[in-house]
């Protein structure tokens, strides 16, 4: 019996060692059921699960031992804007590099397994700055699926990095681009388009593609086109002069309803008076809400039909869109269980709408703001402070302002405690429109406004915040505040720890209950990406990539000109507790 036990133990150690040295031997195809019910050790999509929680169920790292975290390994990435989310499956970590390079690494040791580098057109590679970063990838069956900077959706063999299929969605030379990556749901690859503020009329779109071939199956325009019942919401502006409404982030998915939920960005130019949606024309049936800007869209994954929309901010004239992660939460509202979509836009306002109908349920403000005077408690209708509206020839003070109290760095939800964790920033700005010259057409892109950012009136000097909000009663449990802008997504774990990073290069572990900092490390560059947690051979790891160049980070950095960062140096950092 002792010999059997010894051999069994030895076999187990040998199997774990083999997984660490050659994880490809144990790589399993990712099934639809795996995406629905992921292994706790894996991180298979942008926010780990279809509901957008961004939560890790691993609990080896706890509030008590997180102080002992050490660097397990590091990997140098291509220098540039680094906003990526690693994918981890069966001990293999896949990471996106600036400039369209994808690498497969041994998740336990950091050894390179394979590398794919896209041959981008020279003009594109040299001239697009932080457009060459992507925030996420997808994995399904034996494929890693990516969105490229030349506006293709590409499937790579997960074992070798070789191209399986390659589909061109649009012409990058016309201004289109991808910032987010794909999501796979019910046999469809879903991908949102950006770049529609660069003089490309007609707005952006979301596409659905066959996961086996990449062939496009449907397309949803984010701007209401002629024939759409809401086409008259643009104050009479013709389609060729409607711009914007990018899709900056991947969606969430409700398999019971077969619905994907996407956030849609602001119209261009940012200033409503400049784009023609102010002043309101007096004409039958004409409105100026500029649909579907600043909205949540519920889209049938199979057909591409929009089931409903909810607009969070009509006729946005501040660049304060609501275009980020959609968190799917089931909780009671006024004594009745509701299936909700939770979103938090640049205003820092948390809003909940019904997942079936888009009915508004509740809202909660988080940061000081002077845009919205009041919200109807029954309908959610917002009354705008008229003094906050920018006009040509004037300068207004807006709190917050571009790039928002929060941006693409995602919130996250701990279902064990019903707590939403939010990365936030407190600031204001003087907004000055940049008018077109007489006769000049809007074809060169841009928001056509400048923002002179400053601290909020009466500020104590702290800009960054991590807030913990208990969604069951919408109470703020704690708020951890610090001087540097908050620039990374947050990562709560079942061990009671919340990880987050900031512009001053700090990566922190925060007590999920009290908001107290339990551990911190200073990395080599700005922490502006999406941290994740994964497990290999019984060991929990924390992964985060760092690197300068993020547009949001650079905009917020004007508030802290003394915080210098190196231009080069993008690195993937991996942390773990000591011991094997």
Over residues 384-402, the pLDDT tens digits come to 999 999 999 999 999 999 9
User: Would you say 539 and 576 are in contact if contact means Cβ atoms under 8 Å apart?
Assistant: yes
pLDDT of 573 higher than 70: yes
Average pLDDT of 127-142? 90
User: For 293-327, b where at least 16 C-beta lie within 10 A, e where not — what string?
Assistant: bbbbbbbbbeebebbbbbbbbbbbbbbbbbbbbbb
Rounded CA separation 20/153 (Å): 31
Query: What percent of the chain clears pLDDT 90, i.e. is strictly above it?
Result: 89
Average pLDDT of 264-283? 94
Average pLDDT of 408-434? 97
Rounded CA separation 257/273 (Å): 39
User: Would you say 505 and 404 are in contact if contact means Cβ atoms under 8 Å apart?
Assistant: no
CA 564 from centre of chain: 25
pLDDT of 215 higher than 60: yes
Task: Tell me what pLDDT residue 20 has.
Answer: 56
> Which residue do the tokens 């016309």 mark?
174
> Which residue do the tokens 């070798």 mark?
160
Cis peptide, bond prior to residue 269, ω within 30 of zero: yes
User: Would you say 312 and 326 are in contact if contact means Cβ atoms under 8 Å apart?
Assistant: no
pLDDT of 121 higher than 80: yes
Task: Tell me what pLDDT residue 128 has.
Answer: 65
Rounded CA separation 160/174 (Å): 33
Task: Tell me what pLDDT residue 333 has.
Answer: 97
Q: Where are the domains of the chain?
A: 171-394
Rounded CA separation 275/579 (Å): 60
pLDDT of 475 higher than 90: yes
Average pLDDT of 212-240? 97
Q: Sign of torsion, CA 176 133 509 369?
A: negative
- Closest by Cα among 423, 503, 427 to 458: 427
User: For 139-168, b where at least 16 C-beta lie within 10 A, e where not — what string?
Assistant: bbbbbbbbbbbbbbbbbbebeebeebbebe
Per-residue pLDDT of 4-59, as tens digits, reads 444 344 334 444 444 556 889 999 999 999 999 999 999 999 999 999 999 999 99
Rounded CA separation 199/445 (Å): 5
Which one has a higher pLDDT value, 436 or 73? Answer: 73
User: Would you say 374 and 477 are in contact if contact means Cβ atoms under 8 Å apart?
Assistant: no
Average pLDDT of 55-64? 98
Average pLDDT of 262-279? 96
- Closest by Cα among 515, 526, 529, 509 to 560: 526
pLDDT grade for 2, boundaries at 50, 70 and 90: very low
Per-residue pLDDT of 292-327, as tens digits, reads 999 999 999 999 999 999 999 999 999 999 999 999
pLDDT grade for 3, boundaries at 50, 70 and 90: very low
Rounded CA separation 214/219 (Å): 13
Task: Tell me what pLDDT residue 14 has.
Answer: 46
Provide the token pair at 225: 């086109």
The residue length of the chain stands at 580
pTM, two decimals, is 0.95
Cis peptide, bond prior to residue 279, ω within 30 of zero: yes
Per-residue pLDDT of 477-521, as tens digits, reads 999 999 999 999 999 999 999 999 999 999 999 999 999 999 999
Query: What percent of the chain clears pLDDT 70, i.e. is strictly above it?
Result: 96
Helices (H) and strands (E) in the chain, counts: 5, 39
What's the mean per-residue pLDDT of the chain? 94
pLDDT of 361 higher than 50: yes
- Closest by Cα among 67, 69, 51, 85 to 489: 85
- Cα–Cα distances in angstroms (integers) from residue 10 to residues 2, 3, 19, 390, 395, in the given order: 12, 10, 14, 71, 72
Q: How many CA atoms lie within 13 A of 337 on its CB side?
A: 1
Provide the token pair at 101: 């390079």
Task: Tell me what pLDDT residue 495 has.
Answer: 98
Q: Name residue 194's beta-bridge partners.
A: 177
Rounded CA separation 120/106 (Å): 27
Provide the token pair at 89: 């499956």
Question: Topology of domain 171-394, per CATH?
Answer: Methanol Dehydrogenase; Chain A (2.140.10)
Beta carbons within 8 Å of 8's beta carbon, 6+ residues apart:
none
Side-by-side strand order, sheet with 188-192: 183-185, 188-192, 205-210, 216-221
Average pLDDT of 266-272? 95
Q: How many CA atoms lie within 13 A of 547 on its CB side?
A: 28
pLDDT grade for 203, boundaries at 50, 70 and 90: confident
């Amino acid at each position: 019996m002792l010999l059997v036990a010894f051999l069994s133990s030895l076999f187990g150690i040998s199997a774990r060692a083999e997984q660490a040295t050659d994880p490809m031997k144990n790589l399993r195809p990712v099934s639809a059921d795996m995406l629905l019910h992921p292994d706790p050790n894996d991180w298979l999509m942008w926010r780990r699960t279809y509901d957008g929680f961004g939560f890790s169920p691993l609990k080896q790292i706890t509030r008590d031992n997180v102080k002992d975290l050490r660097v397990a390994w590091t990997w140098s990435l291509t220098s540039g804007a680094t906003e990526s989310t690693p994918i981890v499956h069966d001990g293999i970590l896949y990471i996106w590099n600036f400039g369209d390079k994808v690498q497969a690494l041994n998740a336990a040791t950091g050894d390179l397994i394979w590398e794919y580098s896209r041959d981008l057109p020279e003009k594109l590679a040299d001239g697009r700055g932080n457009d060459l970063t992507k925030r996420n990838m997808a994995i399904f069956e034996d494929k890693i699926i990516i969105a490229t900077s030349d506006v293709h959706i590409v499937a790579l063999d997960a074992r070798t990095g070789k191209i399986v299929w390659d589909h061109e969605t649009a012409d990058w030379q016309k201004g289109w681009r991808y910032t987010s990556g794909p999501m796979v749901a019910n046999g469809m690859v879903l991908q949102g388009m950006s770049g529609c503020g660069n003089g490309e009329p007609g707005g952006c779109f979301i596409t659905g593609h066959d996961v086996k071939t990449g062939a496009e199956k449907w397309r949803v325009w984010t701007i209401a086109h002629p024939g759409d019942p809401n086409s008259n919401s643009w104050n009479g502006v013709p389609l060729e002069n409607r711009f914007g409404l990018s899709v900056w982030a991947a969606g969430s998915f409700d398999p019971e309803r077969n619905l994907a939920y996407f956030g849609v960005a602001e119209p261009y130019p940012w200033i409503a008076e400049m784009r023609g949606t102010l002043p309101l024309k007096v004409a039958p049936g004409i409105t100026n809400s500029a649909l579907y800007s600043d909205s949540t869209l519920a889209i049938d994954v199979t057909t591409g039909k929009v089931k409903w929309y909810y607009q969070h901010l009509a006729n946005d004239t501040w660049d304060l869109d609501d275009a980020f992660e959609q968190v799917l939460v089931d909780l009671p509202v006024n004594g009745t269980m509701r299936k909700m979509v939770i979103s938090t836009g640049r205003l820092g306002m948390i809003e909940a709408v019904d997942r079936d109908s888009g009915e508004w349920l509740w809202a909660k403000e988080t940061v000081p703001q002077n845009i919205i005077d009041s919200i109807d408690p029954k309908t959610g209708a917002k009354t705008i402070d008229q003094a906050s509206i920018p006009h040509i020839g004037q300068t207004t003070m807006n709190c917050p302002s571009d790039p928002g109290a929060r941006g693409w760095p995602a919130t996250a939800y701990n279902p064990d405690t019903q707590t939403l964790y939010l990365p936030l920033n407190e600031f204001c700005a003087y907004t000055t429109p940049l008018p077109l010259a007489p006769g000049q057409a809007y074809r060169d892109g841009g928001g056509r406004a400048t923002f002179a950012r400053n601290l909020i009136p009466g500020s104590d000097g702290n800009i960054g915040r991590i807030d913990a909000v208990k969604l069951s009663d919408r109470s703020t449990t704690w708020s951890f505040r610090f001087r540097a802008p908050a620039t990374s997504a947050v990562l709560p774990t079942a061990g009671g720890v919340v990880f987050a990073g900031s512009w001053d290069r700090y990566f922190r572990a925060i007590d999920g209950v009290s908001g107290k900092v339990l551990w911190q490390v200073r990395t080599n560059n700005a922490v502006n990406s999406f941290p994740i947690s994964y497990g290999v051979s019984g060991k929990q790891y924390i992964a985060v990539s760092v690197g300068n160049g993020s547009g949001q980070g650079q905009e917020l950095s004007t508030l802290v000109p003394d915080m210098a960062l190196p231009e080069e140096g993008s690195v993937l950092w991996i942390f773990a507790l000591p011991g094997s």
